[in-house]
Structure 1
Amino acid sequence: MDINDNIESPMMLKVSFNKLLEHYEDLADSEDEFLSAKAKRVLKTSELYPELRQGFSDTKVLKDRAKEIGIILQDTFAAVLSKNEIKTASVPFHDIIFNASERFKGIIKAAGENFKLNIKNMDEDDRYVIACSIILRFCYGHDLNFKRPFYYEIPDVNGIMRYYKILYNADFCEIVPTENAVDITQEDYEELLDNFDNIELWKEKFPPNSYIFKGFVISNIFDVTDDQSISHLKSNLIGENKRQNDNFMKDFQDVFRSLFGFKDLKIGFSIYHKANKVFERVRGIGINSYLLNNEELVECCNALCSWSYNRLLNEQKFFSISNVEKAHAKAKGKAPHISNLYKQGVKSVIFAPIANETGVLGILEIVSKQPKALNSVNANKLVDVMPFIVSAVEQSKTVEENLIEAIIQQECTSIHSSVYWKFVAAARKFLKDKAKLGNEATFESIVFDNIYPLFGQIDVKGSSEARNIATQKDLQLQLSLLDKIMNEIVALEKLPIYEQFQFQIRNYIKELKTNFKVDSEHSIVAFLKKEIEPVLKFQLKKSPKLKADIDDYFNKIDDDLNLIYYYRKNYDETIMLINKNMALLLDEKQEEAQAMYPHYFERYKTDGVEHNMYIGEAITKEDSFNPVYLYNLRLWQLQVMCEMENEYYSNQHLYPISLDVASMILVFNQPLSIRFRMDEKQFDVDGTYNARYEVVKKRVDKAYIKGTEERITQNGKITIVYSQKEDEEEYLQYIKFLQNKNVLGTEVEILELENLQGVTGLKALRVDILYHGKDNDKTFFTYDDLMKEIKA
């Protein structure tokens, strides 16, 4: 086999000992008789086989001349160092080794029969460019300083991966161009400097096999497992995506196994919360805590003994237990961490505090099921790795804090992305002003002028009435249970006071059926708490016969409300689910709208979901706004609200109780200004004239059609409130378009509204929403049809 087979390279490789033999020729004339004699013996050996000097590429020669090659390389591979040095002779960047030290042979043998030696961090293109850079240095005097470290990864006898760095000695090499070689000019060299990744250019300047390499390299190899383990650890910890990877903990443990040199090793973590002095389990795939075992949260004083507590949290120093069984017998149950380890079958352990200048952040737990495997001596290996672990934990803590801050902003004090730039600019200005003016600096007002508002809501119809009905049913159920218990109490002990309580309970039951008022709940609750509950607790101790019924009553009572919470719970859960699902759909659709044109968006959960949108030049910060984007957003809003209605009614059967919803859009024709209210952490309209818009928003859904007692919003229809004729014409066009798409029905009402306080001249368009059949997208229902379909 030829050593150049299956390798693309600018150099044809020939093994040659010419340069080394030239060195021996000099030594042959030495005055030192011993050196001279030895050199002459080496030269005499080579003279018998001229191919050893001239060069060869047939691997058969390596086998046939192995003895002679050994003699030539005898000084290079000194026998006295052979068991200590890791050394090979080979052709460069090739896995064919024709001489090696005893230690290297032992390493390869321990790796197993199936192990194949290769340089880890060198792909084919890199190999080609490296060969070109060697030619540039040897033949043209251009030193590219392309000195990357190369490594072997070789498992030891226990399967632990060890890392070996390769340093090449190229003193015995020579490179000569062939007739196919391209002469490299200064211009070529400068072009190559800027094109490392352009492999085709390198092949153009250095065609394959255009140079001949004669010689061999000596590889001096060093075990750098500890350094590489630390490097891999650093790489794994720094990369955020790596820490989220499913294999992170496996890779992390493998690094520590290489560092400590044995396979039976596992890693655990626990977070330390200084404020309440507790340890908490780390959230993450495959991350365990041997200190906490199966617990999620444990007080530090219950997880550690006083000595280990002081060692880890106060002194911030690591400690080891080399024999957990022995320590457990000695502690006699007084050291909770040792007891916990013993239960888990851990035989040796190292606990190390993950700490920075602010204090302890968490605990690193290294455990083994082999006694003495982990001890106070090898614990010192942590000195080099702890800074990277601390850095990673700090980074994770910062990421978590930022995430929490983002959640708080999103859920509590949201600053929408469309206007965030304005807050950043104001904050930067505030910092500059503060540097100049100190405490006199003020945060400038956040105001957006000349923008167009859009408002919409999907609201639960009759929510107050539905809640009152649920409250009535819960109170009736509770009073009925009490009436039954009071009957039994009167039968056992016929006291007038008990009869009076029974009379009052029955009166409340009648009142609930005939005359339920807002304050009825309050008076009943006060009566039950003050009068009835003490009696029941007294009878619970006194009358064993009543125990089952009284226990059953108290079991049905909600701990927080001290009332039966069944029908109201169904109501509250329905409202919560409507809000959640409608808000989720609106948020998803909003992403599409933002992609069309950026605008401000906010929503609120009430008995339904309301949303505000503002669009205009002031928000986008770019000279790109056109009224077409406003019209587009209005049409998008109308479509999405119809989709929300469809989504709700198609899944209405999944809610605890059946409630109706009604949708409304408010159209405001004139642009206005909005200002961020720092005290309320939200935007509001700015100026007296613009306040009219807010008044209409708050009151319009309760408005009546002029001359009737009918509310403007109605289930099964979408209502569009406006005041200008041009708005009516615009929305009639949108309605016509959506009728064509089978989103809206054919019947369109144009209605006048009763005057609101301070607001006159409002009108409304009201149109049926079509609801899509689940099994057939081409089937459409009006609201009345849908109700019949649901009840069928």
Structure 2
Amino acid sequence: MSNSHSHRQQVSDESTFRDRDTMTNQANSGNNKWLARFQHHSKLLMAWVEPGNFTLYYANDTFCRLTGINAPTGSLQNQGIHLFDLFTNVDAKTLEQLYRRHLLALILRDVYKINHTQWRFLDEPVIATLDNPHGGEPHCVQFWLRSQHLNVERINPEINEFSDIDLSKQPIQQIILNPTWEERLNLDNYQVRGQLLWEGLDVTHQEMIRQLISLLIERDSLLRSEKFRLFEQKMRSLFRADQILLLRVKHQEVKLFTSKDDQIIQTQVYSWDSLEGSHFQEAAQGNQVWRVANLESDFHTEFEQTLFNQGARSLLLIPLTVSSAEAETPSQNLMGMVGLTSDQTHNFDSLDINHACALSPALTAALRQAAQSQFNPIHPAVEWRFLEEAERRSWGLPPEPIVFTDVHPMYGISDIRGSSSERNRSIQADLLSQFNLAMAVVDGANQYQQLPLLQQLRLDLSAYIKQLEKGVMAEAEVTAIQYLRDHLEIYFDYFQDCGDGAVEAVRAYKQACDNPHGCVYTARDRYDRMIYEINEQLRQTWERWQIRMQQIIPHYCDHELTDGIDHMIYAGASINSHFTLFHLHCLRYEQLRAICDCARTCFHIRDRFDNPLQVTHLVLVQETTVDIFHDEQTEKIFDLRSSTRDTRYEIVKKRIDKALDTNTQTRITQPGMLTIVYSTQAEWTEYQQYLRYLAREGWVDSHIEYSTVEKLQGITGLKFARVRILPEFEPAQV
């Protein structure tokens, strides 16, 4: 503000100190009750600042709290804090331009005696961003300058910036809307008396809602990673939530999507009937934002039990509906739902409900758009065709099917062997541990006072333990824990008065269950960590190789994580016009190398766990091409066209990892080995060459096992070759 520096030096000291003394006396006077209310109780941010340099002189509690300034009495004299020091997007230049506009109005009023009661530009607000002194999202403050009580005098009357213009004959709108008039001002020639009032209003929530609406109605899909990351971040901040849930309802089927690593993933599929009595159906039937204050005491379905076990303690549900003409379900025209979870009970309040209602139309539009892309980000290699079709439809042209013909399929899988059995064993171990802890509680209480009910409870627990020792299925995970909650834990208050033995047993039980799942979760936690570790490392390994493979030639690739990772590749000239036979062979060889690297990744994980899960690896070969198309009635990006060859390929792909060796009746896949399934001699000749190259590079051993695959649902003639994948430190025996 170099132009105003000398002006500030010329402000009358006597007038300034007199004004300051007056305001200080007012601030310290107990008789001015209005000032106390201004200081302590106003929701507005208010401050008195020096005209021209915007040095803070006085501020109320709200201003100090949001800016992190320590000023118990509101006085900021001699601290040298400027307004533009506090905001990240409002600098000295911006404030000076705003101040010049106000000063122009004052000069017109006090010097030229031109007054106007409708100078709306003086009420034009500015949005400023203020860093949060306590961390978290920054605050958005809408502020105004109040200059009506300032007085302006010209120091040297001989200096007149507007001497060449008769201001009295100029249209007032032309003066105030033309920025050149403000630029004419010589600030050094004016003396400003009084204090400038700065008023602000915290509009963080309103601004965040505005940004969310703007984000949601953008044309590109909500499920693009960067857009979804921003959406999730702003939603969690606005609602103080831990997780975002997206539910898509179609044909009486409910698909649940959550987020992980800024990506949206499908986690579960439920039937609509399985949610009978749930809060989700309550929200849908009422067609209104639904708040669940305490999920622990108020859940009715397995789905809600799962959310509770994952740490959710309160919910906010936003149903998204379509018009009756568009309705596809009988459930109140429900298209889907956005859910927010918190690990705190009573987290969501009426203000959150208001925010959710404001966002509901934009969320509906975004979910509709996301549904059109079937909750799957469109792969870059085929995106051009989807954009082309979207452009056609935007011009009102009839839809055309999105088809890629004569593409070469490449399917592979790294499968965790016996994961379901291992999961059941971990459930069994945890339940036995918890039931034994429960037995200790009952025994402790029995030692204090033998009662028939306690003895019967002990017999029930003993019978449960014997049953658990024989083995468990997944459904026992819910029923057994619920039994303990209904028949043991409800008596803990009584057991606390049953002697030291019972007290200690209750303490041990509670300590073992002190986790987000609310039960003993030691073995399952180990299992979950192993599965997550294997899946995550496999994903990272595969995605690294995919980057290299896309550099060979752009192609479509989709991978899915369940108990391991499986991938599906389609490559051909209909996807990329530069595709050649050389590109195909390069991709096939790179696929094998990537699978081998996935196996080595599993070797590293195996070495870190005492009892690791085993992983098998398979590649399915098919020389003949297939046609793929996008079916808008399903949630898959691509389906195969219904031809004999394509149907055969789909059947084989779904069943091959569990197929048996015709001769030995053992699985064709074995841990640590690469299995290649093929049909023709030409396919084997090509892949035999690849195996020789892999052995030369040290990926696999040179010894190859051969056999045939047992008949699969009417499909015969499949053969397989199997070879051991080598650790990095073991050289191949070529």
With the length of structure 2 as denominator, give the TM-score of the two structures: 0.54
Letter of the structure 2 residue corresponding to residue 419 of structure 1: V
- Residue by residue over 1:746-770, the C-alpha shift from the partner in whole angstroms, topping out at 9 and shown as x without a partner, is 2211211111124222211111111
What residue is the counterpart of 2:71 in the other structure? Answer: 342
Q: Secondary structure at the match of 1:662?
A: strand
Alignment-derived partner of residue 203 in structure 1: none
Residues 422 and 430 (structure 1), Cα distance of their counterparts in 2 relative to 1, 3 Å cut = same
> What is the rounded CA distance, in whole Å, between the counterparts of 1:574 and 1:741 in structure 2?
30
The yes-or-no answer on 1:658 pairing with 2:612 is yes
Letter in 2 for 1:423: F
Matched residue, 2:129? 363
Question: How many Å apart are 1:515 and its aligned residue?
Answer: 4.2
For residue 322 of structure 1, what is the aligned residue in structure 2?
56
Q: State how 1:411-430 maps to structure 2 within 5 Å.
A: 411-412=264-265, 413-430=376-393
Determine if contact 1:349/1:375 at 8 Å carries over to the other structure. no
CA distance in 2, matches of 1:358, 1:429: 43
- Going from structure 1 to structure 2, the CA distance change for 1:643 and 1:334 (only over 3 Å counts) comes to closer
Query: Which protein shows a greater Rg?
Result: 1
Question: Hey, what does 2:468 align to over in structure 1?
Answer: 512
The number of equivalent residue pairs is 449
CA contact (8 A) 1:601 1:611 kept: yes
1:519, distance to aligned residue in structure 2 (A) = 4.7
DSSP 3-state at the match of 1:534: helix
What is the rounded CA distance, in whole Å, between the counterparts of 2:378 and 2:523 in structure 1? 37
Q: Distance in 2 between matches of 1:613 and 1:472?
A: 39
Equivalent position SS for 2:654: helix
Counterpart for residue 628 of structure 1:
582
Aligned pairs for 1:632-711 (under 5 A) are 632-654=586-608, 658-678=612-632, 679-689=634-644, 690-711=646-667
1:41-440 paired onto structure 2 within 5 Å: 307-309=42-44, 322-324=56-58, 327=59, 336-337=65-66, 341-342=70-71, 347=79, 348=81, 350=83, 363-364=129-130, 404-405=226-227, 411-412=264-265, 413-433=376-396
Distance 2:524 2:379 in 1: 35
Summarize the Cα distance change of 1:305–1:779 in structure 2 as closer, same or farther, 3 Å threshold: farther
Pair 688,405 (structure 1): closer, same or farther in 2 beyond 3 Å: farther
State whether structure 2 residue 409 is matched by structure 1 residue 453.
yes
Structure 1 residues 349 and 591: CA distance shift in structure 2, 3 A: same
Is it true that 1:769 corresponds to 2:725 in the alignment? yes
What letter matches 1:649 in structure 2?
F
2:243 equivalent in structure 1: none
Match of 2:275 in 1: none
- Give 1:358 deviation, angstroms: 14
Name stretches of at least 5 consecutive residues in structure 1 with no aligned partner.
1-161, 163-222, 227-257, 262-303, 313-318, 368-373, 384-389, 434-440, 783-792
**8 Å Cα contact 1:558-1:565 kept in structure 2:** no
Q: Distance between the aligned counterparts of 1:334 and 1:452, measured in 2?
A: 65
Per-residue CA deviations over 1:422-441 (Å, capped at 9, x if unaligned) read 111111111112xxxxxxx5
CA 1:361–1:616: 2 relative to 1, 3 Å: farther
- 8 Å contact from structure 2 (residues 702, 732) kept in 1: no
Taking structure 1 as reference, are residues 714 and 259 closer, same or farther at Cα in structure 2, changes over 3 Å only? farther
Could you tell me whether the CA contact under 8 Å between 1:663 and 1:719 is conserved in 2? yes
CA distance in 1, matches of 2:124, 2:433: 57
> Which has the higher relative contact order, 1 or 2, with Cα contacts under 8 A spaced 6 or more apart?
2
What does residue 513 of structure 2 align with? 557
Q: Give CA deviations for 1:49-76 in whole Å, capped at 9, x if unaligned.
A: xxxxxxxxxxxxxxxxxxxxxxxxxxxx
Task: Measure the CA separation in 1 of the matches of 2:132 and 2:703.
Answer: 73
What is the DSSP-based 3-state SS (H/G/I as helix, E as strand, rest coil) of the residue aligned with 1:550? helix
Q: Separation in 2 of the partners of 1:673 and 1:260?
A: 77
SS in 1 for 2:713: coil
Tell me if the contact between 2:709 and 2:720 (Cα under 8 Å) persists in the aligned partners: yes
What's the secondary structure of 1:619's corresponding residue? Answer: coil
Name the CA distance, whole Å, in 2 between partners of 1:660 and 1:502: 39
**Percent of pairs with identical residues:** 26
Q: Deviations over 1:706-735 (max 9, x none)?
A: 144311110021111122221111111111
Q: Residues 340 and 677 of structure 1: is their aligned pair in 2 closer, same or farther, counting only changes over 3 Å?
A: farther
Residue pair 2:698, 2:731 contacting (<8 A) in 1 also? no
Q: Give the root-mean-square deviation of aligned CA atoms.
A: 4.5
Residue by residue, what CA displacement relative to the aligned partner does 1:599-650 show, whole Å, maximum 9, x if unpaired? 1111110101111111000101x2x222221121111111111111112212
- In 1, are the aligned partners of 2:444 and 2:499 still within 8 Å (CA)? no
Does the 8 A contact of 1:349 with 1:365 survive in 2?
Answer: no
In the TM superposition, what is the alpha-carbon distance from 1:512 to its structure 2 partner?
A: 2.5
Counterpart amino acid of residue 545 in structure 2: K
Aligned in 2, Cα 1:772/1:716: closer, same or farther, shift over 3 Å? same
Please give the alpha-carbon distance, in whole angstroms, between the structure 2 residues aligned to 1:654 and 1:359.
60
In the alignment, which of 580, 598, 618 is matched to residue 554 of structure 2?
598
- Following TM superposition, by how much is the alpha carbon of 1:513 offset from its aligned partner in structure 2, in angstroms? 2.5
Give the whole-Å Cα distance in 2 for the aligned partners of 1:595 and 1:764. 30
Q: Deviations over 1:100-152 (max 9, x none)?
A: xxxxxxxxxxxxxxxxxxxxxxxxxxxxxxxxxxxxxxxxxxxxxxxxxxxxx
Query: What CA distance in whole angstroms lies between the structure 2 residues aligned with 1:657 and 1:362?
Result: 57
Using the TM superposition, give the Cα deviation of residue 420 of structure 1 relative to its aligned residue in structure 2, in angstroms: 1.0
Which residue of the other structure, out of 558, 570, 580, is the alignment partner of 2:536?
Answer: 580
Q: Is the 8 A contact 1:470 1:567 kept in 2?
A: yes
Amino acid at match of 1:563: C
Structure 1 counterpart of 2:394, one-letter code: L
SS in structure 1 at match of 2:707: strand
Matched, 1:486 2:442: yes
The 1:406–1:491 alpha-carbon spacing in structure 2 relative to 1, beyond 3 Å, is closer
Q: In 2, distance between residues paired with 1:259 and 1:358?
A: 25
Q: Is the 8 A contact 1:751 1:764 kept in 2?
A: yes
Aligned partners of 1:739, 1:352: CA distance in 2, in Å?
63
Could you say what secondary structure the match of 1:682 adopts?
coil
C-alpha spacing 1:699/1:565, structure 2 compared with 1 (3 Å): same
Structure 1 residue 753 corresponds to structure 2 residue 704: no
Give the drift of 1:570: 0.8
- Cα distance in 1 for residues equivalent to 2:7 and 2:602: 58
Instruction: Tell me how far 1:553 sits from its aligned partner.
Output: 1.1
Are the aligned partners of 2:46 and 2:198 in contact in 1 as well (CA < 8 Å)?
A: no
Do the aligned partners of residues 259 and 716 (structure 1) sit closer, same or farther apart at CA in structure 2, a change above 3 Å counting? farther
- CA distance in 2 between counterparts of 1:611 and 1:472 reads 32
Q: Distance between the aligned counterparts of 2:655 and 2:7, measured in 1? A: 71
Query: Paired residue for 2:332?
Result: none
Change (3 A) 1:603 1:638: same
